[in-house]
Structure 1
Amino acid sequence: MTVKSPEKLAGKFNLRDREEVAQRLLEASARHTFDPDRDLDWDAPFEEGKWFWPPELLSLYDTPLWWAMDDERRHRLARVESASLASIGIWFEIVVMQLLLRHVYDRPIASKHVRYALTEIADECRHSMMFSRFLAKSGTPVYPVSPFVQNLTRVFKSCSSTACSLVFTLLCEEVIDWMQRLTFPDDRVQPLVRGVTRIHVVEEARHVRYAREELRRQMERAGRMELRITRSVTGELGRLFARSLVNPEVYADCGLDRRTAVRQSRASEHRREVLRMGAARLASFLEDVGVFDERGRRLWRAAGLL
C-alpha cells in the first residue's frame, strides 16, 4: 500500500470547526455525565458464580492452560484480569489528563475547545477514582505497568507531539471500549463490573469523538517530518499497548507458570482475534487519516492488532 503524502492528505477531510464540535460535546456532557460514587451500588456484595470479565475476553481463553483449569481458577483469572485492566486504566487516564493539559496550555482559555478538554479531564478524574474504588472492593492486587513502560511514558507524555498524543489516547480508549461494550450488557458478569463499564463506555464515546476530530485536523496540516514521526510512534505504541494490556503477574496469582501463560496467550489465535476486533475501527480510521506506514502495520500485526 502506498504511503499517503502530505499533498494527498491536504484538503481531504471535511473537518468540523473546533468550536462546533466542542459545543456538541459540552451539550452531550451536560446530558450524560455520571457520579460513580452515587450511581453505583458499592455496598452490594459480589454475586456468587458471576464473572468479573466475560470469559471469551480473557487472555488465556481457549488455550491449553484454559482447558486445564477448573472453574474456580478460571473465575480467579477473570477477577485478577479485570483488576489488571482497572490498574492500567488508572495509569492511562493519568497520562491522558497530562496530555490534554499540554494540548490546551497555549490555546484560548475561554474557547469551547478548551472548556471541553477540561470537562474531559474531570471525566477522567472520576473514572480513575471509580477504578480505584473497584480495585479496593475486589480485594485483588494492583497491577501496574512495567517499570520500563512507566519510565518510557514519563518521557512520552512530556515530549510527544499532539498527533502522537492523540494516537496514544485513541489506542487505549478504543480497544478497551470495544471489550467494555460486550461486558456491560452481559448478565453473566458481576453487576458492579457491568455498571463500571457502562459509565466508562458512555463517557468515553465523547472523548473518542474529540480525539478523532483533532487528529484529523493535525494530520491535515502535518509536514513531512511530523508525518514520519507520527507513523513511527504509532507502530511502537501498538506493540507496547498489546504487551501491557495484561500484567503477567496475574498468571502467577492464579497459580500458573507465568512464562507458559504469556507464551500461550501471545500464541492464541482466539486472543489475537479479540485484539484485532477491538482495534478494527481504530485501525481503519488511522489508515484513513494517513497515520500508518508499512513498518507500523507490521508492528501492529505482530502485536495481534491487525
Structure 2
Amino acid sequence: MTKAPTRLAEEVREQVKDRTSYYGVIDRLNKASVDKHWEAYADIPWDDPEYAIDPEDPRWILTDEDHLGRTEWYRSQPPEVQARIGLWRVATAMKIGLQFENLLKRGLLNYAYWLPNGRPEFRYVYHETTEECHHGMMFQEFVNRTGLPIRGMPRALTALAQVVPWIPLVSTELFFVFVLGGEDPIDYKQRQLLKGGHVKHPLEEAIIRIHVAEEARHISFARHYLKHRVPSLSRPKRQMIALLSPLILGRMARIMLSPPGPMVRHFGIPRDVVRAAYRGGDHRDDLSDSVGKVRDLLAELGLVTPVGKRLWKLMGVWDEPGVRRGQAAGRPAPGAASPDERAAR
C-alpha cells in the first residue's frame, strides 16, 4: 500500500539539514506523484446526474462558515438567491485558483528551464505542473457548467500578475514565497470546509478533495525548497524577501478569501453588509490564520525583521509565530481518512 500524499507531507516536515536529506524529500514527493494522482476528465464523473449544477440548488446556500452567510441581509434573501450567491462564491474561488495556477505553472517552467542535468527538482516540477494542469481543467469545467459570468481576479491585478512567471529569473526563493502565498490560503479554506461539513454538493466535494490531496505535495516542496535555500542567501536577498513577503502574502490572502466585486454588484449587496462581513475581527483572524504556516516558516528562517513585522501588521496578517486567532486550520481528526483516500472512494 502506498503512502497517502497528505500523510507523506506530514512525514517530511523535518528540518532539511543538508543536500542529502533535501534530495530525499524530493525523491519521496516524486514517488508519491507517481503512486497517487488524478486526471480531470477520468476521475470526476462530470455527466453523472448527481453531479449536475443547478444554480438554485439549496446545497449551494452559504453556511455560517462564510462571513456573508452569517449576515441578516443574506439570510433574508429568497432561497434561490442565496443559492446563486453561494454558487458564485464557489465558482469565483475556482476561477481565481486556476488563474493563480496558470501563473504558477509558467513560473515553474521558467525555473525548470535553467536547471542543470541531473537535478531531481526538474522531475518534481514537471509532476507538479502536470497536476496543476488537471486542477485548472477541473476548475474551468466547473465554472463553465455554472453558466455564471465569472471573471476571477480584477483586471488591473491580472495585468500586474503577468510579472509573476518571471520572478524565478530574479529570485527562486521569492517565487516560492509567492507559491505558498497562493496555495496556503486556499488550502486553509478548503480544509476548513471539508472538516466542518460545509461542502454539500458532490461535484464541489470531489474537486476539493483531489485539490487538497495534491496540494499537500506542492506545499511541502515549496516549504522544503525555502528551508534548503534561504540559509545560504546573501543578506541583501534575505532583506528583500523579508520586506516583500508580507506584501505578497497579505494581498494573496485577500484575493482568495474576500468577496468578488462583480458578485457584490450583480446581487446588489449593500456596502454596509460587505463591510460588516469582511472587515470585522473574525475575517481579519481568517486572513491572518490562512497565512499562518507560511509566516511561521519565514520566522523560523529569520525572515521576519522589525521593519518586516510592521509590514505584516500593516497588511493585517500578523500574529506571533505559532498563534492562530481564528478557526482551527482544518486538519483531519486523528484516525480519520485522509482527503486523498476519501477522494479515491
**Superposition TM-score tier, normalisation by shorter sequence:** 0.7 to 0.9
**Bigger mean CA offset, 267-276 vs 211-220:** 267-276
Inter-partner Cα distance in structure 2 for 1:121 and 1:68: 44
Per the TM alignment, residue 222 of structure 1 is displaced from its structure 2 partner at its CA by 1.1
1:232 lines up with 2:243 in the alignment: yes
- The one of 11, 33, 36 equivalent to 1:32 is 36
- The one of 184, 188, 201 equivalent to 1:178 is 188
Inter-partner Cα distance in structure 1 for 2:115 and 2:305: 30
CA shift digits 1:4-49 (9 cap, x unpaired): xxxxxxxx96245343222101111112101121211212324732
Inter-partner Cα distance in structure 1 for 2:132 and 2:44: 17
Query: RMSD in angstroms over aligned alpha carbons?
Result: 2.4
1:74 lines up with 2:82 in the alignment: yes
- The one of 128, 141, 157 equivalent to 2:149 is 141
Aligned residue type for 2:255: S
CA shift digits 1:94-132 (9 cap, x unpaired): 111112112222212443221011110001111111100
- The one of 106, 119, 131 equivalent to 2:127 is 119
Inter-partner Cα distance in structure 2 for 1:35 and 1:193: 15
- The one of 208, 221, 229 equivalent to 2:219 is 208
TM-aligned CA distance change 1:265 to 1:296, over 3 Å? farther
Aligned residue type for 1:291: L
**Contact 1:62/1:270 (8 A) holds in 2:** no
Identity within the alignment, %: 26
Per the TM alignment, residue 286 of structure 1 is displaced from its structure 2 partner at its CA by 2.0
5 Å-filtered alignment, 1:150-189, equals 150-159=158-167, 160-184=170-194, 186=197, 188-189=199-200
- The one of 231, 237, 242 equivalent to 1:220 is 231
**Contact 1:183/1:189 (8 A) holds in 2:** no
Inter-partner Cα distance in structure 1 for 2:29 and 2:41: 23
Per the TM alignment, residue 163 of structure 1 is displaced from its structure 2 partner at its CA by 1.3
Aligned residue type for 2:240: I
Aligned residue type for 1:158: W
Number of matched pairs: 293
Aligned residue type for 1:24: R
TM-aligned CA distance change 1:55 to 1:271, over 3 Å? farther
- The one of 241, 255, 258 equivalent to 2:268 is 255
1:305 lines up with 2:317 in the alignment: yes
Per the TM alignment, residue 288 of structure 1 is displaced from its structure 2 partner at its CA by 1.1
TM-aligned CA distance change 1:264 to 1:285, over 3 Å? same
Per the TM alignment, residue 265 of structure 1 is displaced from its structure 2 partner at its CA by 3.7
CA shift digits 1:155-191 (9 cap, x unpaired): 2332451111111101111111111123345265211
TM-aligned CA distance change 1:250 to 1:290, over 3 Å? farther
**Bigger mean CA offset, 117-126 vs 274-283:** 274-283
SS of aligned partner of 1:256: coil
**Contact 2:287/2:316 (8 A) holds in 1:** yes
Inter-partner Cα distance in structure 1 for 2:19 and 2:71: 46
With normalisation by structure 1, the TM-score equals 0.86
Query: Which position in structure 1 is the counterpart of 2:291?
Result: 279
TM-aligned CA distance change 1:98 to 1:70, over 3 Å? same
Return 5+ residue gaps in structure 1 as ranges.
1-11
CA shift digits 1:41-87 (9 cap, x unpaired): 212324732137x6344342434544554544332222111111111
**Contact 1:180/1:201 (8 A) holds in 2:** yes
Query: Which position in structure 2 is the counterpart of 1:269?
Result: 281
Aligned residue type for 1:281: K
Inter-partner Cα distance in structure 1 for 2:272 and 2:178: 29
- The one of 14, 18, 22 equivalent to 2:17 is 14
Query: Which position in structure 2 is the counterpart of 1:9?
Result: none
- The one of 60, 76, 91 equivalent to 1:51 is 60
- The one of 171, 181, 205 equivalent to 1:194 is 205
Q: Greater relative contact order (Cα 8 A, min sep 6): structure 1 or 2?
A: 1
**Bigger mean CA offset, 181-190 vs 104-113:** 181-190
Return 5+ residue gaps in structure 2 as ranges.
1-14, 319-345
- The one of 303, 312, 320 equivalent to 1:291 is 303
Per the TM alignment, residue 248 of structure 1 is displaced from its structure 2 partner at its CA by 1.4
Inter-partner Cα distance in structure 1 for 2:198 and 2:31: 31
1:96 lines up with 2:104 in the alignment: yes
With normalisation by structure 2, the TM-score equals 0.77
